[in-house]
Chains A and B, each alone.
Chain A
């Protein structure tokens, strides 16, 4: 069997008194966009935080490129790039300084630092505001900056948590195009969203979470079944038709 980029097995997690995940399993492969779908509170963000080692599983396992998140969290973090739902940037640093800071913390070598930062600025078309302080950037520019700092160390696994929720049409399209481009470069892209239209267009395979459980998983077309749109299948699955 080909090693999965991300392998989640019978994952359980309770936060406070709330059992957020109830034994979910899925595998995401290199070179695909894997959709993690579900209504608000389904457990999508918690799943991403477990994969990215910010949280520790109560039971079950998560492996990223063969590294167990509990046993080798730093190895896992070296191999992932996460664009979080909240775009937080350091306001008193310029866009370039923000990217450089995360590149250094992600162990990009000094000899490669400038080239990597310049390459990311070029790839995401950040030139026009690279030396502007982050506090003066628009939401779309901040989102580009958030993507830039997440990919500057060239991770094999990219995770996007609701990346288009606060963006206008143009900025959303740029994010979507970036995900496709990353997939084409052989990256494993995990896309967490409740915007089913985006998921249907982008994802090769999807997993639908509802109340902490997997209610459907597989190729997008297969999960949609005979329904005209993914949204119809989704509503059937979560019992909200």
Chain B
């Protein structure tokens, strides 16, 4: 394995002297906290923002104060339906015994205002009904014959934290692993052909399989460094910002951390091999980019879709699909705070097989005569 170590060391030196790779890692480390801070601020602003209600008619006694307390500001208008299109967030016509609400569902502010209004009106109606019953000497408790008592099986704050992490963490991890090693993989394959060092490398007695292993190890390392940089910066940012709604800070469970490391190593290895194989097909760095860029979208697209499906409960066959399986395993570990060994085993085998097959393909490509004669 001496040749593998020699190639690994040389590739690492070259990668660390390559501005493209260093900039990609630095951007990853900086971009993640910025994105999270912006998301946090937007969420906080949405929760505390005051929305305007345009109204006609007489405001029922006490309702105005209740609306103001929930950041809903009343403003008299001539036509609430017309005003709700642009002038105000929501329109109301107070009629005796009836409230007509006008809102545009395509406006996010109208939806939020409408939800708040429904809650306030519900509370106001219940309070009015209770007061009327009490005046007549009737227990207001008859309005709620069944009492709903909730017993959450886990901390709602932790659940919110897990939901947030299960969405962001797999996405950032996979994106950074794939994009972090992208430049290094192409530089060590297509780059060798482009700068005409490949022939000299193949003229050495070092077995080509060992040379390739050294390259895969270097690309895997740099992919992991990029992922670690992004995730560490993500957690540093998360320690400084609150969950949407201000219900606490986000933490990752003890179970998820080692699992995340294991999955990261698997993805980094398998995708280093895949990108090296594609890079070996290319004659130039630019051509390599054309081959590898679609790979990112092909792999990240199904994974992203899954993240948007709430409570998606896949069968074991889904865990055979590389990247998608990594997302699912990570999501399961974060949300349920436990490891399903069957799905983890299938995921491990799938990603190792992807890496091994890609390494074999890269080796076949690396040893074919056309590699030299076509360049």
- Chain A residues proximal to chain B, CB less than 8 Å: 15-16, 49, 52, 54-56, 74-75, 77-78, 80, 82, 84, 86-93, 97, 101-102, 104-107, 146, 149-150
Q: A49-B372, A54-B202, A102-B204 are in contact. List 7 more A-B contacts (CB 8 A).
A: A54-B372, A82-B203, A93-B10, A93-B14, A97-B10, A105-B201, A105-B206
The listed residue (A15, A16, A84, A91) touching B199 by CB distance below 8 A is A84
CA distance A91 to B17 in the complex (A): 10
The listed residue (B3, B13, B18, B197) touching A89 by CB distance below 8 A is B197
Q: Using a CB-CB cutoff of 8 Å, which residues 11-59 of chain B contact chain A?
A: 13-14, 17-18
CA distance A49 to B203 in the complex (A): 9
Interface string of B291-325 (1 = CB under 8 A from A): 00000000000000000000000000000000000
Chain B residues with CB below 8 A from A80, complex form: 203
Contact A77 B372 (CB under 8 A): no
Contact A92 B10 (CB under 8 A): no
CA distance A107 to B206 in the complex (A): 8
Q: Is B6 an interface residue (CB 8 A)?
A: yes
Q: Is B62 an interface residue (CB 8 A)?
A: no
Give B202 Cβ to nearest chain A Cβ, in Å. Answer: 6
Q: Using a CB-CB cutoff of 8 Å, which residues 341-374 of chain B contact chain A?
A: 369, 372-373
Q: Which residue of B lies closest to A81 (CB)?
A: B203
Give B298 Cβ to nearest chain A Cβ, in Å. Answer: 31
User: What are 21 pairs between A and B in contact, CB < 8 Å?
Assistant: A16-B373, A49-B372, A52-B203, A54-B203, A55-B372, A55-B373, A74-B205, A74-B207, A82-B200, A84-B199, A86-B196, A87-B196, A88-B199, A89-B197, A90-B14, A90-B195, A101-B6, A105-B3, A105-B7, A105-B204, A105-B206
Q: How many A-B residue pairs have CB under 8 A?
A: 73
Q: Is B198 an interface residue (CB 8 A)?
A: yes
Q: Which residue of A lies closest to B375 (CB)?
A: A86
Chain B residues with CB below 8 A from A89, complex form: 195, 197
Contact B202 A92 (CB under 8 A): no
CA distance A100 to B78 in the complex (A): 85
Q: Using a CB-CB cutoff of 8 Å, which residues 174-202 of chain B contact chain A?
A: 192, 195-202
The listed residue (B17, B192, B206) touching A92 by CB distance below 8 A is B17
CA distance A127 to B18 in the complex (A): 25
Interface string of B252-281 (1 = CB under 8 A from A): 000000000000000000000000000000
Contact A105 B13 (CB under 8 A): no
Report how many residues on chain B are interfacial, defined by Cβ distance under 8 Å. 26
Give A175 Cβ to nearest chain B Cβ, in Å. Answer: 17
CA distance A77 to B207 in the complex (A): 11
CA distance A152 to B74 in the complex (A): 86
Contact A107 B373 (CB under 8 A): no
Contact A86 B199 (CB under 8 A): yes
CA distance A77 to B17 in the complex (A): 30
Chain B residues with CB below 8 A from A74, complex form: 205, 207
Chain A residues with CB below 8 A from B197, complex form: 88-90
CA distance A107 to B204 in the complex (A): 9
Contact A106 B199 (CB under 8 A): no
Q: Which residue of A lies closest to B187 (CB)?
A: A92
CA distance A55 to B373 in the complex (A): 9
Q: Which of B10, B197, B369 has most chain A Cβ within 10 Å? A: B197
Contact A15 B373 (CB under 8 A): yes
CA distance A49 to B369 in the complex (A): 10
Q: Using a CB-CB cutoff of 8 Å, which residues 113-130 of chain B contact chain A?
A: none
CA distance A90 to B201 in the complex (A): 11
Give A147 Cβ to nearest chain B Cβ, in Å. Answer: 11
Contact B204 A88 (CB under 8 A): no
Contact B200 A106 (CB under 8 A): no
Chain A residues with CB below 8 A from B201, complex form: 105
Chain A residues with CB below 8 A from B205, complex form: 74-75, 77-78, 105-107
Contact B18 A88 (CB under 8 A): no
Give A85 Cβ to nearest chain B Cβ, in Å. Answer: 9
Give B110 Cβ to nearest chain A Cβ, in Å. Answer: 57
Give B189 Cβ to nearest chain A Cβ, in Å. Answer: 14
Interface string of B92-109 (1 = CB under 8 A from A): 000000000000000000
8 closest A-B pairs by beta carbon, nearest first, are A88-B196, A88-B197, A86-B196, A105-B204, A92-B17, A77-B205, A105-B206, A104-B6
Chain A residues with CB below 8 A from B196, complex form: 84, 86-88
CA distance A92 to B16 in the complex (A): 10
CA distance A102 to B197 in the complex (A): 11
Chain B residues with CB below 8 A from A77, complex form: 203-205
Q: Which residue of B lies closest to A77 (CB)?
A: B205
Give A69 Cβ to nearest chain B Cβ, in Å. Answer: 12
CA distance A77 to B3 in the complex (A): 14
Chain B residues with CB below 8 A from A101, complex form: 6, 10
Chain B residues with CB below 8 A from A97, complex form: 10, 13
